[in-house]
Structure 1
Amino acid sequence: MSATKRLPQFMQSLKARLIVSALLLILIVMPLIGLTLNDAFKQQVKSASMNELKAYFFAILAVTEVNDAGLQMPEALLENSFNVIQSGLYAAITIPAQKLQHHQPSNHDSSSHSMPQITAWRSESLLGIELPNTLPSPQKGQGQFSDISLNSQPHLIYSFSVSFERPTSNGDSSNQFPITIHIIKDQTEFQQQVTQFSHQLWRWLFILLALLLVIQMAWLWWTLKPLSSLESELSAIENGKATQLCNHYPTELQAVALQLNTLLNTEQNQRKRYRNALADLAHSLKTPLAVIQSQQDLSSESFEQVSHINRIIGHQLKRAQSAAGSAWHLGVEVVEVSDKLVKNLPKIYCQPLIAIDQNVDRKAIFKGDEADLSEVLGNLLDNACKAAASKVLLSIEYNNKKLKICVEDDGAGIDAALQAQIFERGIRADSYKMGHGIGLAIVRDLVDSYHGRLCIGRSTRLGGALFSVEFNG
């Protein structure tokens, strides 16, 4: 089984495949773009906040002093946000707990992460806010960004460890005084910026997505329009409403259109020459046969054989002239043929008068040659009129490109044995009984040439014979 047959029915359309591909491309790419832009903006805003915290750190470091009494900080800072209670911008300085307890020189690296820290100073803005028990304590000369929670709100903290030198009492050595400066900022504003940007970004992306879908559908419609036009023209040719492809197509399809037109012209011309040759052959054979039949001394037995030869020639010529083998592109409106026959046959069978009723689908199409359809309908109706007492019914149905023709009469019907003989191979054209002669043989051969189906039975509505012919689209 091929890959195409395994696909769902709607995916077997080229148009459906292009539309699904375009939709998948848009629906995958656009969210990826949105996620990437949103993450990039978030990182940019966070980077800006980090740079801001670094700047505040240097401002705090500039006013930090250490003397014999310990850490000295001004009462008020230049950045007013540090002086406003719970302003969202905070500063704190921690020192190692061991340093505060002993107040004596030590060469031990007091900025170790494992050493406990205590808060030596905090800005006025931290009033009423409890700091966590453990704050980041990076190595001396290094900074660290991290996230903490204050009053159940997310905050960004920047910690940097430095060490001050203060002289000893005798003035000949130095004492290290390590501290860690913490700059803390509320992330509410940061989250608001990110959220606002995300909402605006996704809103515009959805608008862009809708716009791209409209543009994509318009582009696909414009791109596939030549295919739709080609399909319409082929359908018109198939239904007998046109004989050539007339539209101008893009370069890729123009060559196909030219080849199809060449094929159509070649096939039509070849069929025409073939029929003309058969007509000439029929004419050349009928003239000598007519001369033989006109001989006065011709015995009745010879006359019958000549007549039989004449009938066989007519039958085989009509069979050979059938366009079924090459008429895939032809289409005939059945009603045009049936109306002519129903109108003319009662003029022939007027004693007694035969009434022909119609139940015909006016949109029915016969995919074949008009002469073949006329031959099938004409012979079926002619046989029905011969066998009917007073009434014939012609029914034509057309559904899902399937054509069904039914001809019924109110005559005596056909024997079951003769019905079986009609479908046996090798039955000669003259073996049918009166009323169902060579005409039915022609119908059988024409139906077979179109790969149709001929059934014979008894009519439930009129009581006589029922001839049913079915053609697939």
Structure 2
Amino acid sequence: MRLRSLRLRLLLAAACAIALALTAAGLGIVFLFERHVERRIGAELDTYLNQLAARITFSEENTPRLTGKPADPRFEKVYSGLYWQVHDEGSQAALRSRSLWDATLKLPQDRPALGTIHIHDIPGGPRGTQLLVHERRLAYATPAGEKILRLAAAIDRQEITALSAAFGKDVLASLLVLGLALLLAAWLQVNVGLRPLAMIRRGLAEMREGRSERLDVDVPAELAPLVGELNALLESQAKAMQRARDRAADLAHGFKTPLTALLADARRLREKGEDGIAAEIEHTADLMRAQIERELTRSRIRNAAAAPVDVAAVATAIINTLRRTPHAESLVFETHVEDGLAARIERDDLHEVLGNLLENAARHARRKVLLRAARQGALVRIDIEDDGPGIPAAQRDALIDRGKRLDASGAGSGLGLAIANDVLDHYGQTLTLEHSECGGLKASFTLPA
């Protein structure tokens, strides 16, 4: 299974690298410690050989003997793990430490050069132990002639192994603590290293919410090309959308003259008494004009960052305009807008939404239109209600989706609610239609604060 988390990948890679490095370091440290201990013990064994060599004398029978013994008390303890032995190559006589008891050091059968120290690992020591042996052949002048003696000092390998094992446990504990510290450092490093990506993500979220137009270019050099490409793509997209809006505006102007001519034909037909045909032509032209307005509204919606817009100011301007229309001049408009309330939306877009909803409410209201706006957490909630006949619940969703008119006799195309929903959809919001306590329809929506 592929890991899709970059942070987890980096942490796993760091953990593996740390584990391998600490394992290699631990093995290397233990190996070096064992070699150091072995050299240190070897130096002690060489000292014992020198002590033995200095204290050897010969009896009247020309047999070797010691005038004194090495001072280490372990030589006097049976099977203590530290041993010495002096072997006469001629007479095969041997002197040995008390620690050997009834055993002997079984030295190799070779004949090393005189005076040099040879190091052996021999099995079969006392109680079957493995021994590290330092051996030296020396020639002594005696009245009976030259004597060749083999001096050997040995120590049980188990002592070196025990020291290494104890040291290894100490090293393991230290490396575990070090490994945890390195993992913590790696976690901090990964989080610091990925922070610029989090900044880019927040920048994209701000662009989606309309709070900025481009990504901040103040990023590490490794991410600068990515940010530059994203900004270039956004610039190209903005230019393409501007061209699309311009083409849509040109298209609307192109349709204006044919629609005007079509309505003129309808008036002439009505003057000739063809009221039925004239009504059909006017209805068709009305639908065409409304559909064009809806598509133009969609094309005008911008992706640019939106500054906070005063909700009360926009609502007041729209209501003042509606009061001059025939169907709204007798209505009462009640507004309850929280002081200083602002929504993060393009002013033209807010005007489009409130204009369509207030006009729709005024067209169906009997006496009153109510507008409420207040902050709701990080959002602004706006409710527009009327005391008209309302809309059955089963027909509300279809009205938003298709802009269907429920009263074919009234003026306008009935696409106002659908246009408002299209604009809100761009900001990630949805228009909600409910029954109003005033008796008619309640249209509600939210916007970023």
TM range (shorter): 0.5 to 0.7
**In the alignment, does 2:423 pair up with 1:466?**
no
Equivalent residue letter for 1:379: N
- Are the counterparts in 1 of residues 381 and 444 from structure 2 also a CA contact under 8 Å? yes
2:152 counterpart (181, 189, 193) = 181
Distance in 2 (alpha carbons) for counterparts of 1:305 and 1:197: 98
Identity %: 15
Deviations 1:375-400 (A, max 9, x none): 34432233234426545255689899
Could you report, residue by residue, the CA deviation over 1:281-302 in whole angstroms, capped at 9, with x for unpaired residues? 2443454356556759354445
Q: CA deviation at 1:72?
A: 0.4
Distance in structure 1 (CA, Å) of the matches to 2:310 and 2:258: 30
Matches within 5 A, 1:28-427: 28-56=19-47, 58-60=49-51, 62-63=53-54, 64=56, 68=61, 70-75=63-68, 91-93=83-85, 120-122=95-97, 137-141=106-110, 143-144=120-121, 158-159=132-133, 181-184=152-155, 210=181, 214=185, 217=188, 221=192, 224=194, 226-245=196-215, 247=217, 250=221, 252-253=225-226, 256-257=229-230, 259-289=232-262, 291-292=264-265, 297=271, 299=273, 300-301=275-276, 303-323=278-298, 329-330=303-304, 332=306, 336=309, 338-347=311-320, 348=323, 351-358=330-337, 371=348, 374-385=351-362, 386-387=364-365, 389-390=367-368, 392-394=370-372, 407-415=384-392, 419=396, 422=399
C-alpha displacement of 1:208: 9.5
Deviation at 1:247, TM superposition (A): 1.9
CA distance in structure 2 between the aligned counterparts of 1:260 and 1:27, rounded to whole angstroms: 41
* Superposed displacement of residue 48, structure 1: 1.2
TM-score, normalization: structure 2? 0.65
- Structure 2: segments with no counterpart, 5+ residues: 111-118
1:336 partner SS:
strand
Q: In structure 1, what is the Cα distance between the partners aligned to 2:199 and 2:130?
A: 64
Q: Is the 8 A contact 1:140 1:161 kept in 2?
A: no
Whole-Å separation in 2 of the counterparts to 1:45 and 1:65? 34
Amino acid at match of 2:289: G
Contact 2:266 2:281 in 1 (8 A): yes
**1:85-143 deviation per Cα after TM superposition (whole angstroms, max 9, x unaligned):** 99x996533889xxxxxxx989xxx9xxxxxxxx9543xxx8xxx66776763434573
1:454/1:284 Cα in 2 relative to 1: closer, same or farther (>3 Å)?
same
Matched AA of 1:465 = L
Name the CA shift for 1:406/1:135 in 2 (closer, same or farther; >3 Å).
farther
Asked whether the equivalents of residues 355 and 391 of structure 1 are also in contact (C-alpha less than 8 Å), the reply is yes
Match of 2:332, SS state, is: coil
**Equivalent residue letter for 1:137:** K
The residue aligned with 2:114 is none
Amino acid at match of 1:181: A
Partner SS, residue 72 of structure 1: strand
Instruction: Tell me how many residue pairs correspond in the alignment.
Output: 419
Give secondary structure in 1 for the equivalent of 2:298. coil
Structure 1 unaligned segments of length 5 or more: list them.
97-103, 111-118, 150-154
Task: For residue 206 of structure 1, report the CA deviation from its aligned partner.
Answer: 5.8
Tell me the CA shift for residue 280 of structure 1.
Answer: 1.8
Q: CA deviation at 1:18?
A: 5.6
- Native 8 Å contact 2:245 2:300 kept in 1: no
* 1:20 alignment counterpart: 11
By how many angstroms is 1:458 displaced? 2.0
Q: Distance in 1 between matches of 2:288 and 2:411?
A: 20
CA RMSD of aligned residues (A): 5.8
Alpha-carbon separation, structure 2, partners of 1:350 and 1:133: 129
Distance in 2 (CA, whole Å) between partners of 1:413 and 1:229 is 48
Distance 1:441 1:180, change over 3 A: same
SS at structure 2 position matched to 1:355: strand
Deviation, structure 1 residue 457? 3.5
- Cα separation, partners in 2 of 1:280 and 1:240, compared to 1, 3 Å: same
1:277-322 Cα distance to aligned partner (Å, 9 max, x none) = 1342244345435655675935444553453244223211122224
Shift of residue 216, structure 1, vs aligned partner = 7.8
Q: What code does the residue aligned with 1:464 have?
A: G
Give the TM-score, by structure 1 length. 0.62
Residue 152 of structure 2 aligns with an amino acid whose one-letter code is I
Per-residue deviation at 1:238? 2.2
Q: In structure 2, how many angstroms separate the alpha carbons of the residues matched to 1:191 and 1:454? A: 80
1:297 partner amino acid = E
Q: 1:436 to 1:270 in 2, by over 3 A?
A: closer
The alpha-carbon deviation at position 73 of structure 1 amounts to 0.9
Question: Which whole-Å deviations, capped at 9, do the CAs of 1:340-379 have from their partners, x for residues lacking one?
Answer: 443234432573422133589978767xx76555434432
Distance between the aligned counterparts of 2:265 and 2:149, measured in 1? 138
Give the CA deviation at 1:83. Answer: 11
Work out the CA distance in 1 between the residues paired with 2:17 and 2:377: 40
Query: For the residues of structure 2 that align with 1:283 and 1:293, how far apart are their CA atoms?
Result: 15
Tell me how far 1:52 sits from its aligned partner. 1.1
Cα offset, 1:178, TM superposition: 9.2
Q: Which moved more, 1:253-262 or 1:155-164?
A: 155-164
What CA distance in whole angstroms lies between the structure 1 residues aligned with 2:422 and 2:238?
Answer: 24
**What is the alpha-carbon distance in structure 1 between the residues aligned to residue 412 and residue 278 of structure 2?**
22
CA contact (8 A) 1:392 1:407 kept: yes
Residue 69 of structure 1, CA deviation:
7.0
Contact 1:278 1:321 in 2 (8 A): no
